[in-house]
């Protein structure tokens, strides 16, 4: 078998090329993933369920037939709130222990058709909220990987899978990916279908993707969304055009620590020096209320959406989730409608805010991944952009006091995902270099 370390050092994009030309077999690639899981899973705890035998059978079948598609032989970890017909979906909660769906979430069907190996279900915080379930940050096991897509970010960061799915309602794809030093992509709202993905707060819930870099997530997104234009062209990969970038110190700026502030300023200098046109952007005053609005929307929708679970399974739900659900029930319908009205107003303002800029550049987290396992971090730097419904991607912007990543994010206009991915790829290359 090919050298395992050599295989696992390939990006998903590079592995895809080798799998397509048969210089790497699906069985060889899967064996490398499983070897990494066997080595590291006892420490990292990324998986809620590993579908080893089915994955081995799938890889063998792929090697004996024609190339099925762009994702042929690549491996996927699936956040444990996506329905899968051949694996249990338990949402990280005792209330759903052993639950077995009868069909896949809609967004997984094109991945299977494209030749992907669905390797297992990754750990999520309970029902994709806040109570954690033991996943550790593979960059430093004493720190959180973030939530709620904790297992997905950790599995990709530790080389266990090519890709993983996530969801984002507040900051649950971008922030954990940033904490673990990989790329998290929250597409435009509803770009990827949500049928069969467990709801949290319907106005904000978005299917997210996790991979090693922007080129990788663009490849996965192009198949998952059935939108080929998302994949980066050869020119975009080799000599991408420098974007016009809006630098924004948001109304949440003071929640970030001094290390994030310093890293942001350093990123601004590096982006400008590398050829980007950098423009200072100040958000309109209306955006000052967006963090509170997003919190109100999520609490209202989650409180009512989880009401039946609370009524029927309160003994199986952990206390922080019970308290959060009850808090949501206290948000009035009038407050909810005011929050939604403000969100619509800010979405209308945003194209003029960006002006000639291709994307906005803002912090993705308030600091590096917190120490310990019980707190998954502050989502404040993500919440506004989730409610804005546009695309967001995490990129590494430096290192914190413990050597862990300091995450920034590239934010685009609603439904302008292709341009946002191109710009994020340029930013990623610039800051990585």
Whether 277 sits among the annotated catalytic residues: the reply is no
Q: What is the pLDDT of residue 120?
A: 98
Give the active site residue among 93, 148, 188, 376.
148
133: phi then psi, degrees, rounded to nearest 5? -130, 30
209: which 2 tokens? Answer: 């993707």
Q: Is residue 316 part of a domain?
A: no
Return the H-helix or E-strand segment holding 307: helix 307-313
What is the b/e burial string over 373-383, where b = at least 16 CB atoms within 10 angstroms of the residue's CB? beebbbbbbbb
Give me the pLDDT at residue 2, please. Answer: 58
Strand bridging mode 117-122 / 47-50: antiparallel
Number of domains in the chain: 2
The tens place of each residue's pLDDT in the chain, 433 residues long, gives 557 888 988 999 999 999 999 999 999 999 999 999 999 999 999 999 999 999 999 999 999 999 999 999 999 999 999 999 999 999 999 999 999 999 999 999 999 999 999 999 999 999 999 899 999 999 999 999 999 999 999 999 999 999 999 999 999 999 999 999 999 999 999 999 999 999 999 999 999 999 999 999 999 999 999 999 999 999 898 888 999 999 999 999 999 999 999 999 999 999 999 999 999 999 999 999 999 999 999 999 999 999 888 888 889 999 888 888 888 889 999 999 999 999 999 999 999 999 999 999 999 999 999 999 999 999 999 999 999 999 999 999 999 999 999 999 999 999 999 999 999 999 999 999 7
266 with 222, same domain?
Answer: no
Catalytic residue among 114, 150, 172, 203: 172
Active-site residue flag, 172:
yes
If asked whether residues 149 and 276 sit together in one domain, one would say: no
Backbone angles phi, psi at 97, to 5 degrees: -55, 125
Nearest to 372 by CA among 141, 174, 157, 42: 141
Which pLDDT score, from 0 to 100, does residue 5 have? Answer: 81
- Judgement on whether residues 47 and 170 belong to the same structural domain of the protein: yes
Residue 298 falls inside a structural domain: no
Domain that holds residue 266: 240-289+333-432
How many C-beta atoms surround the C-beta of residue 191 within 10 A?
19
Does residue 326 form part of some domain? no
CATH of the domain at 183: 3.90.1300.10
283 shares a domain with 175: no
Q: Say if residue 24 is in the same domain as residue 110.
A: yes
**Burial track 264-275 (b if 16+ CB lie within 10 A, e otherwise):** beebbebbeeee
Cα separation, 37 vs 205, whole angstroms: 29
Catalytic residue of the set 79, 121, 149, 394: 79
Last residue of one domain, picked from the residues 219, 236, 253: 236
Would 182 be classed as within a structural domain? yes
End position of a domain, from candidates 195, 213, 236: 236
Would 278 be classed as within a structural domain? yes
**Residue 323 falls inside a structural domain:** no
**How far apart (Å, rounded) are the C-alpha atoms in residues 401 and 405?**
9
Of 170, 203, 236, the domain-final residue: 236
- Residues 90, 49 within the same domain: yes
Check whether residue 229 and residue 356 sit in a common domain: no
Q: Is 121 a catalytic residue?
A: no
Residues 176 and 224 in one domain: yes
pLDDT for res 204? 98
Asked whether residue 254 falls in the same domain as residue 368, the answer is yes
What's the N-to-C CA distance of the chain in angstroms?
Answer: 33
DSSP structure string for 101-166: -SS--GGGHHHHHTT-EEEEEEP-SGGGSS---S---TT-TTB---SSSHHHHHHHHTTS-SEEEE
Is the pTM here over 0.75, yes or no? yes
Please tell me the predicted confidence (pLDDT) of residue 413: 98
- Claim to verify: residue 137 and residue 262 sit in the same structural domain: no
Domain-located, residue 314: no
In a domain, 310, yes or no: no
Which stretch of DSSP H or E encloses residue 340? helix 333-354
Question: Do 167 and 230 fall within a single domain?
Answer: yes
Instruction: Report pLDDT for 327.
Output: 85
Q: Is 68 in the same domain as 124?
A: yes
């Amino acid at each position: 078998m090919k050298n395992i370390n050599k295989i696992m050092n390939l990006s998903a994009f590079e592995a895809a090329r080798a799998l397509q030309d048969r210089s790497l077999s699906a069985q060889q690639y899967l064996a490398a993933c499983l070897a990494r899981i066997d080595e590291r899973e006892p420490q990292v705890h990324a998986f809620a369920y590993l579908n080893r035998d089915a994955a081995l059978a799938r890889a063998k079948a792929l090697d004996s037939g024609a190339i099925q598609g762009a994702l042929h032989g690549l491996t996927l970890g699936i956040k444990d709130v996506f329905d899968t017909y051949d694996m249990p979906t338990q949402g990280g909660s005792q209330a759903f222990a052993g639950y077995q769906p009868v069909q896949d979430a809609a967004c997984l069907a094109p991945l299977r058709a494209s030749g992907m190996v669905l390797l297992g279900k990754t750990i999520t915080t309970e029902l994709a909220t806040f109570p954690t379930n033991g996943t550790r940050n593979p960059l430093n096991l004493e720190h959180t990987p973030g939530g709620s897509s904790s297992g997905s970010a950790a599995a990709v960061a530790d080389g266990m899978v090519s890709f993983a799915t996530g969801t984002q309602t507040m900051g649950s794809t971008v922030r954990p990916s940033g904490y673990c030093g990989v790329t998290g992509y929250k597409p435009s709202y509803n770009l990827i279908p949500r049928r069969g993905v467990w709801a949290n707060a319907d106005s904000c819930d978005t299917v997210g993707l996790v991979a090693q870099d922007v080129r990788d997530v663009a490849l996965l997104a192009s198949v998952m969304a059935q939108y080929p234009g998302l994949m980066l062209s050869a020119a975009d990969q080799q000599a991408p055009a420098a974007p016009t970038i809006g630098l924004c110190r948001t109304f949440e700026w003071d929640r970030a620590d001094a290390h994030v502030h310093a890293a942001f300023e350093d990123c601004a200098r590096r982006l400008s020096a590398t050829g980007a046109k950098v423009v200072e952007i100040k958000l309109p005053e209306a955006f000052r209320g967006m963090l509170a609005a997003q919190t109100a929307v999520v609490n209202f929708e989650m409180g009512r959406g989880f009401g039946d679970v609370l009524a029927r399974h309160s003994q199986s739900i952990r206390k922080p989730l019970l308290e959060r659900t009850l808090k949501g029930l206290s948000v009035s319908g009038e407050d909810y409608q005011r929050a939604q009205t403000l969100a619509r107003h800010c979405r209308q303002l945003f194209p003029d805010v960006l002006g000639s800029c291709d994307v906005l550049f803002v912090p993705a987290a308030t600091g590096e991944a917190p120490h310990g396992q019980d707190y998954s971090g502050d989502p404040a730097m993500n919440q506004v952009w989730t409610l804005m419904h546009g695309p967001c991607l995490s990129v590494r912007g430096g290192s914190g006091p413990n050597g862990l990543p300091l995450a920034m994010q590239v934010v685009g206009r609603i439904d302008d995902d292709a341009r946002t991915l191109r710009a994020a790829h340029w930013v990623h290359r610039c800051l990585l270099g």
